[in-house]
Amino acid sequence: MTWDTAARYADVAYVRATDAGAAGRIRDELRRRAAAYGRDPGALTVLAALAVDLGDGERAAEPAPAQGPLTALDGAPPLYRGGPVDLADLIAGWQDAGAVDGFHITPVVPRRDLERFVNGTVALLQHRGLFRTFYPGTTLREHLGLPRPANRYARAREAAL
């Protein structure tokens, strides 16, 4: 999806950025374009795509040499390699910077990383008041705070009557 398509039509845009500054610039540009299309810029939710490798056992994954906490390969989401505590700090830092509205996290090894993410990173973020402790809704739209779209089929049915 192009930035223009996301700005014009999307409720949620996934972006790839390796630091909060780049993510914030992308978010600002998407919202600027949304406004140019006559949309409420705040109606576009921007999520940073992030693959996480939290290592195994008690030790964190070894970071790639001579690189920061996030690295990226062409076409893939940025990769975080480290521990759950540092990941919580990274997420909190991006939130403090107002860089994105949230994250789309993909565990590299789900069997290992998902448990460490939920019981480590999420628990820390909840303790800091940065992550919800319950979901009041039943749909993804409700979880993201998105309004229910108008039923396009109801309008067609009314027009046929």
Give the model's pLDDT for residue 101: 95
What is the spatial distance between Cα 66 and Cα 42, in angstroms, rounded to a whole number?
37
Predicted confidence (pLDDT) per residue in 101-149, tens digit: 999 999 999 999 999 999 999 999 999 999 989 888 898 888 888 888 8
Predicted confidence (pLDDT) per residue in 70-103, tens digit: 665 566 889 999 999 999 999 999 999 999 999 9
Reported as a pLDDT band with limits 50, 70 and 90, residue 8 is very high
User: Is the model's pLDDT at 1 over the cut of 80?
Assistant: no
User: Is the model's pLDDT at 68 over the cut of 80?
Assistant: no
User: Is the model's pLDDT at 158 over the cut of 80?
Assistant: no
Predicted confidence (pLDDT) per residue in 31-48, tens digit: 999 999 999 999 999 999
Which stretches of the chain are DSSP H helices? Answer: 3-9, 20-36, 84-96, 110-116, 123-127, 140-144, 152-160
Is the distance from CB of 51 to CB of 77 less than 8 angstroms?
A: yes
Closest C-alpha to 63, from 92, 41, 96, 90: 90
Give the model's pLDDT for residue 67: 47
Closest C-alpha to 71, from 18, 22, 19, 109: 18
Is the distance from CB of 31 to CB of 43 less than 8 angstroms?
A: no
Give the model's pLDDT for residue 146: 84
User: Is the model's pLDDT at 58 over the cut of 70?
Assistant: no
Give the model's pLDDT for residue 142: 87
User: Is the model's pLDDT at 65 over the cut of 50?
Assistant: no
What is the spatial distance between Cα 87 and Cα 69, in angstroms, rounded to a whole number?
9
Q: Domains along the chain?
A: 3-160 (3.20.20.30)
